[in-house]
Amino acid sequence: MTNSVAVIVGSLRKDSLNLKLAQALEKLAAGKLVFDYVDIGDLPAYNDDLWVNPPASVLRMKEQVAKADGLLMLTPEYNRSYAGILKNAMDWGSRPYGQGVWQGKATAVAGTSPGSIGAAVGQARLRADLASLSTVLAPLPEVNLQWKPAAYDESGDVIDAGTRAFLQGYIDQFAAFIAKNA
């Protein structure tokens, strides 16, 4: 069975390493998971007043997350935390009160950085906040991946054997977790 995953990348850069990581995971998940990328770059800064006439971008984001079987968030590390655009999306998705989309969602976090700890601190903070939103975090190995361009070919496939085996195991375990919890 193929389950769907709402994928939210916490970087808006067109050459984002975290987007590349998401796309590499998508290829490794073929046949098990279908990735639905959620654009959060067009969400306004959170403003409770806007619920009177909710922005289309907010409604679209909430619908994409609500209908997905699972959620994958990838974050760069920004100043030892996760990306602010993710927090903004999390806040929008948590409201109106009682109509949030995060609760009970089978969720995984991943991240990469050129730095040696691979966005580990940012991801830890993201996991803590996702727990506050009552997502169901999958018990997965942490993808604290230091980005090494040589591990990928021109089409984005993972060609380094160790990295590929690690990411394959991660996404396979997430697929199994979603199948069990969705």
Ligand X SMILES: Cc1cc2nc3c(=O)[nH]c(=O)nc-3n(C[C@H](O)[C@H](O)[C@H](O)COP(=O)(O)O)c2cc1C
Distance CA 156, CA 72 (A): 19
**Separation in Å, CA 48 to CA 14, 113, 124, 163:** 30, 33, 27, 43
Q: Which stretch binds ligand X (CB under 6 A): 26-34, 97-105, 113-121, 124-132?
A: 113-121
Q: Does 13 bind ligand X (CB under 6 A)?
A: yes
Which residue number, 69 or 77, has a Cβ lying nearer to ligand X?
77
Contact status: 144 vs ligand X (CB under 6 A): no
Kindly report the number of other CB atoms within 10 A of residue 165's CB atom.
11
Confirm or reject binding of residue 148 to ligand X (CB under 6 A). Answer: no
| Interface residue with ligand X, options 49, 52, 79, 150 (CB under 6 A) | 79
Distance CA 133, CA 91 (A): 9
- Using rule CB under 6 A, residue 110 touches ligand X: no
Size of the site for ligand X (CB under 6 A): 14
Q: Which is nearer to ligand X, 67 or 80 (CB)?
A: 80
Residue 17: C-alpha distances to residues 38, 130, 144, 163, 182 (Å): 17, 22, 13, 15, 28
Least Å distance between CB 79 and ligand X? 5
The Cα–Cα gap between 5 and 36 comes to: 6
115 binds ligand X (CB under 6 A): yes
Binding site for ligand X (CB under 6 A): 11, 13, 16-18, 76-80, 113-115, 119
